[in-house]
Amino acid sequence: MNRPASRFRWPAALLALLLAAPAGRAFVDDALSFAYEAANPYAERGWIIREDAWGGDLGQGDKKAVTAQLFRGNSYMFFLATDIDGAALRVNIYDAEGNLAESKSWQRGRFAYAEIKPRSTGTYYAIVEIISSPEERTGWALVYGFQRK
Amino acid sequence: MILRLLFVLFLCLGTALGQKPDKTIDLGQFPAETVDNVVIPVPSEIFTVLDKLGNPNWRGELGPEENYPASPNRTQVALLLGTVIADGFVAVEAEDSERVKKIGRNVLTLAEAINVRKSVVARSNSIIEKADAREWNAVRREFDGALQDVNQAMLELNDAQLAQLVSLGGWLRGTEVLTSIVKDKYSRDRAELLYQPMLVDYFNRQLDQMSPRLRRQQLVGEIRKSLGRIGPLIKKSRPSEISEETVTEINALATQMVELIRAKAG
């Protein structure tokens, strides 16, 4: 059964997990560490990285949608990561009609990235997918940032 | 620094290896997820766009200069806290350091009334310190952080509904200011910022799902009613076609709700 994706904050989420975490949440938190580590260089290049994040766990081939209100005039980046060695995942951004809307995206193993400069203000969907994984369930974490561009 | 750049380069090399995403998808595949997993924008996201749309009269948008007493009604305090944090952003835009500092102290008082003072003390001090130094971008980030800290602290206290009210209060005050600025100097580009149908639906859903005890409160009832009127106004237009008349109508509703929140809490 899919665990629902949850929104959590770093480092408050880490503290909570250290105190009394179900096993599933622990690897989600590890995934979060990887996601923030990957996003850090972007913060140094002027992106504002949100302090809260989204995460959960999925089986191979499963997808999850995270809904976002984005504003024309900003650029947005979504960084997805897992701590599972050998897993491959990706994130892509679609508009409210289901059309691919990102300006660029890439995926490499446990990291994936998508960037969008919205053509119009409105609702967008970050679709998170586990392409392959050696584990039955793969914890994932999504962090998101924006900048004026 | 070099290691980090190499890391980014390493990640980018993966682009060519990745599978191509589908050009279109059926969003109907994700009915539950699209309802449950919602990214609420932080106020900075809207203010960064507004920065580019001319030079609004931010001083004219500052709310009343009040010290809010700690009311025993946690519902009202949560809504008010959201509006006060949104006021902080307006004061930052107006570059009014004294007002920012006062708002920082109000945040602390209101946070205390709903048992989350500890989570915002550091933010509040930082807001005051950075306002003194007129580091406006840093102050913005602290207000964003304060909103997130308060929400997180409430979730940890199993008070998710109050956390939602803080977000709602902030959104209502933000909408009041945004509509006021847009109608002051209307353009379609400015009005497009109001196209937030998902957020209106989200807040409506949150209010509908609140406990009967909260829903019975007059203030919550009034807000539900007004929010129910804002939704169709936003959705009747395409993003780039929100009319001046619609902006004025939304502004009247948002102003009415914010005044109600302030009156009940004051």
pLDDT of residue A26: 53
Domain range for A101 is: 3-148
The CA distance from B151 to B262, in Å, is 20
Q: Report the residue count for chain B.
A: 266
pLDDT of residue B50: 79
Compute the half-sphere exposure of residue B165: CA atoms within 13 Å on the CB side of its CA. 29
**Are the beta carbons of B39 and A113 separated by less than 8 Å?**
no
CB B169 within 8 A of CB B88: no
Compute the half-sphere exposure of residue A1: CA atoms within 13 Å on the CB side of its CA. 2
pLDDT of residue B239: 83
What ipTM was reported for this prediction?
0.83
Confidence of residue A51 (pLDDT cuts 50, 70, 90): confident
Residue A3 has pLDDT above 50, yes or no: no
DSSP state of A143: E
pLDDT of residue B9: 52
**Are the beta carbons of B197 and A123 separated by less than 8 Å?**
yes
The CA distance from B91 to B105, in Å, is 13
Interface test with A, best of B1, B45, B53 (most A CBs within 10 A): B45
Residue A146 has pLDDT above 70, yes or no: yes
Cα→Cα distances B64→A30, B56, B105, B134, B266, Å = 45, 18, 15, 22, 11
Residues of A in contact with B41 (CB under 8 A): 68-71
Which residue does chain A place closest to B16, by CA atoms? Answer: A106
Q: Comparing C-alpha atoms, which of B195, B27, B240, B202 is closest to residue A96?
A: B27
| Beta strands A138-148; A74-81: pairing state | antiparallel
Confidence of residue A4 (pLDDT cuts 50, 70, 90): very low
Tokens standing for residue B67: 């010290």
DSSP state of A2: P
Residue A28 has pLDDT above 80, yes or no: no
Residues 6+ apart with CB under 8 A from A96: A122, A123, A124, A125, B27
Q: Which residues pair with A78 in a beta bridge?
A: A114, A144
**Residue A33 is part of a domain; what is its CATH number?**
2.60.120.380
The CA distance from B155 to A113, in Å, is 29
Tell me the residues of chain B between 1 and 20 that have a Cβ less than 8 Å away from chain A.
1, 4-5, 7-8, 10-15, 17-19
The CA distance from B144 to B170, in Å, is 11
- Rounded to a whole number, what is the distance in Å from the CA of B168 to chain A's nearest CA? 15
pLDDT of residue A149: 65
pLDDT of residue B159: 85
CB-based contact, A113 to chain B, within 8 Å: yes
Q: Count of domains in chain A?
A: 1
The CA distance from B227 to A130, in Å, is 38
Specify the residue for token string 């679709």: A127
Residues 6+ apart with CB under 8 A from B252: none
Collapse the DSSP code of B70 into the 3-class scheme (helix H, G, I; strand E, B; otherwise coil) and give the result: coil
pLDDT of residue B265: 53
Confidence of residue A14 (pLDDT cuts 50, 70, 90): very low
Instruction: Kindly report, residue by residue over A65-101, the tens digit of the pLDDT.
Output: 999 999 999 999 999 999 999 999 999 999 999 999 9
- Identify the H or E element spanning A127: strand A122-132
pLDDT of residue B141: 85
User: Could you say which residues of chain B have pLDDT below 70?
Assistant: 1-19, 31-37, 70, 264-266
Residue A16 has pLDDT above 80, yes or no: no
**Are the beta carbons of A100 and B24 separated by less than 8 Å?**
yes
Burial B197-232 (b: 16+ CB within 10 A, else e): bbbbbbbbebbeebeeebeeeebbeebeebbeebbe
Residue A130 has pLDDT above 90, yes or no: yes
pLDDT of residue A9: 45
Residues of B in contact with A73 (CB under 8 A): 48-49, 52-53
**Are the beta carbons of A12 and B40 separated by less than 8 Å?**
no
